[in-house]
Amino acid sequence: MNETLERWQSRRAFILAVTGAAVGLGNIWRFPYMTGENGGAAFLLLYVVFVALLGLPMMMAEIMIGRAGRRSPMQALAFLADEAGVSPLWRWLGLFGAMTTFFILSFYSVVSGWSIEYLVGAVNGDFVGRSAPQIGSGFEAFLLDPLRMTFNHTLFMLLTMSVVAAGINSGLEKLNNVMMPLLYLILLVLGGYAVTTAGFGEAMHWLFTPDLAAIDLTVVLNAMGHAFFTLAVGACALMAYGAYMPDDQSLPRAVFAVALLDIAVALLSGIAIFSVVFSHGLDPTEGPGLMFVTLPVAFSGLPGGQLWLGAFFLLLLVATWTSSINLAEPMVAMLVGRGWRRGRAATLIGALVWLVGLLSVLSFSSLKDVHWFVGMNFFALVTTVPPDIFLPIGGLLIAIFAVWRMPKEAAISALGVSPGRFVIWRTLVRYVSIPLTAIVLLSSLI
Ligand code: PHE
């Protein structure tokens, strides 16, 4: 066992850290626009089903492996594969996860930079008295300004990497303790406001009355990918956090709590955002800009709106910050496990991710029409393929390792469950989660 590794200071710290990883742009930014682009309630329904059948059980598998290995993902997999006497090639799964987090973090930082821009804008009162179309064209003008975007992207990478460099106990735990509860509070206020708007009824209908005819293979694949993305499963990032999990904590209970919170945050932001969309005749299929147009519009109609808007973007920033710290952790832990100093590892990874992020920045101006893959520019590609394809592939392999490769006893003790419950979990993963993920992935490839 690797005794030098840090441990979360308390059970609450672990739950907060995993919630911090899960709750982020996926819930507040991606969920609403994906729901908008994929036909509304049908997408939501599928996403919740996928969270229950794949996301949750695979999340347990992933954290369990980290906890059993007590090392960085690649080294934990190498160690456990060796112990179980199975192929040493399993360690490359850790590298695949690191690559996935690398690309996700590269766009994550850019979009989080948009929040910085909007936070400053709200504090300056830039949105006061502006109409929905004015706010919309303001966002478009911002996207056409690579310098401003790069500035914010740089700032966000610095924020992330400074916490990662400080290590989990001193860095992340302190931040999580204060900020996560505040985020829920402000979302509740926003949800309360949504109830009073004219578009609330239509938003509820749009979100909760599924049109099953709207479901096609793309919608299914997108919903599955989103379930992985929002729970932060499939990139070995939670595996890295599992390594720091105390021995006496129940893993399933923690994971259930996180998933419930994660869905609650997505629903609240969905309700708030679509109420505004329908109240102001905005377009639900607007795409990645959806949140950045609807929220300033919503708050401009509220008393003290700019204050609320500023607070919202501040908390969103914190939510994305805690997720991006998790995204960076497996890559940094991999280098630290090879003897690097944390600070140096964080600097190198940060610099590389920042560079690739510039391609996303430019995807709205000079590289807009440069298509990398089936008509997608870099930003479209990187916001689609790593979340919707790489995460499910990673989750699939993680699950296979957990239920077909790891010795039963090791798995039971790392999960912290009774043998009876273990069998239920393993049966679910073997005969539901794994085949379902494989079927959706394969059929979308064909
Ligand atoms: N779950 C995060 C979000 O919803 C994104 C994420 C994906 C974080 C994968 C870590 C790993 O924003």
How many A from CA of 377 to the centre of ligand 1?
A: 22
Q: What pLDDT score was predicted for residue 358?
A: 98
* 24/44 Cα distance (integer angstroms): 17
Amino acid 277 reads V
Contact 14, 254 (CB under 8 A): yes
Q: Judge whether 1 lies within some domain.
A: no
Q: What is the pLDDT of residue 139?
A: 94
| Ligand 1 centroid, distance to 127 Cα (angstroms) | 29
Q: Cα-flanking dihedrals φ and ψ of residue 91, to 5°?
A: -60, -30
201: CA distance to ligand 1 center in Å?
30
Atom of ligand 1 nearest to the CA of 319: 12
Does residue 6 form part of some domain?
no
pLDDT score for 4: 55
190: nearest Cα among 31, 301, 105: 301
Question: What is the number of structural domains in the chain?
Answer: 1
Do the domain assignments include residue 5?
A: no
Of all protein residues, the one whose alpha carbon is nearest to atom 8 of ligand 1 is 232
CA of 420 to the centre of ligand 1 (A): 31
Q: Kindly state the tokens that stand for 411.
A: 């798995």
Contact (CB, 8 A) for 291 and 33? yes
Nearest-atom index, ligand 1, CA of 323: 8
Residue 220 falls inside a structural domain? yes
- Please tell me the predicted confidence (pLDDT) of residue 171: 66
Cβ neighbors of 150 (< 8 A, separation 6 or more) are: 358, 361
Please give the number of the atom of ligand 1 that sits closest to the Cα of 25. Answer: 12
Q: Indicate which atom in ligand 1 lies nearest the CA of residue 327.
A: 10
Please report whether residue 88 resides in a domain. Answer: yes
Give the count of beta carbons closer than 10 Å to the beta carbon of residue 148: 16
C-alpha of residue 344 to centroid of ligand 1, in Å: 24
Query: Which token pair is 444?
Result: 């979308």
Q: Within 13 Å, how many C-alpha atoms sit on residue 270's CB side?
A: 27
391 C-alpha to ligand 1 centroid (Å): 10
> Is-contact 333 73, C-beta < 8 A?
yes
Ligand 1 center to 9 CA (angstroms): 23
Atom of ligand 1 nearest to the CA of 326: 10
| 394, 95 Cβ separation under 8 angstroms | no
Nearest CA to ligand 1 atom 9: 232
Cα 124 to ligand 1 centroid, rounded to whole Å:
30
Measuring from atom 11 of ligand 1, which residue has the nearest CA?
232
Return the ligand 1 atom nearest residue 391 CA: 9
Report which protein residue has its CA nearest ligand 1's atom 4. 26
Q: What is the CA radius of gyration of the chain?
A: 21
Question: Does residue 230 fall inside a structural domain?
Answer: yes
Cβ–Cβ < 8 Å for 109, 25: no
Nearest CA to ligand 1 atom 6: 232
- Measured CA to CA, the distance from residue 103 to residue 93 in angstroms comes to 16
On whether residue 326 sits in a domain, the answer given is yes
pLDDT given at position 294 = 85
Q: What is the per-residue pLDDT for 1?
A: 40
Answer whether residue 3 is part of any domain: no
pLDDT, mean of each 10-residue run, the chain (446 residues): 63 85 92 91 95 96 96 93 94 95 97 95 89 90 96 97 82 74 82 89 93 89 94 95 87 92 92 89 86 84 79 86 92 90 96 98 93 90 94 97 94 93 96 96 85
Supply the range of the domain harboring residue 332: 11-445
For residue 12, what pLDDT is reported?
79
Determine contact, residues 139/289, Cβ cutoff 8 Å.
yes
Pocket-forming residues, ligand 1, beta carbon under 6 Å? 21-22, 24-27, 104, 229-230, 232, 235, 237, 323, 326-327
Rounded to whole angstroms, the Cα distance separating 184 from 257 reads 14
* Alpha-carbon span 301 to 314, nearest angstrom: 19
Atom of ligand 1 nearest to the CA of 320: 12
Contacts of 1 (CB under 8 A, 6+ apart): 70
Which residue from 355, 317, 308, 321 is spatially nearest to 102, judged by alpha carbons?
355
What CATH number did the domain enclosing 169 receive?
Answer: 1.10.4160
In this predicted model, what pLDDT tens digit does every residue of 244-292 receive, in sequence order? 888 888 899 889 999 999 999 999 989 988 998 898 888 888 888 888 9
Between the CA of 224 and the centroid of ligand 1 the distance, in Å, is: 14
Angle made by CA atoms 234, 236, 239, in degrees to the nearest 5: 120
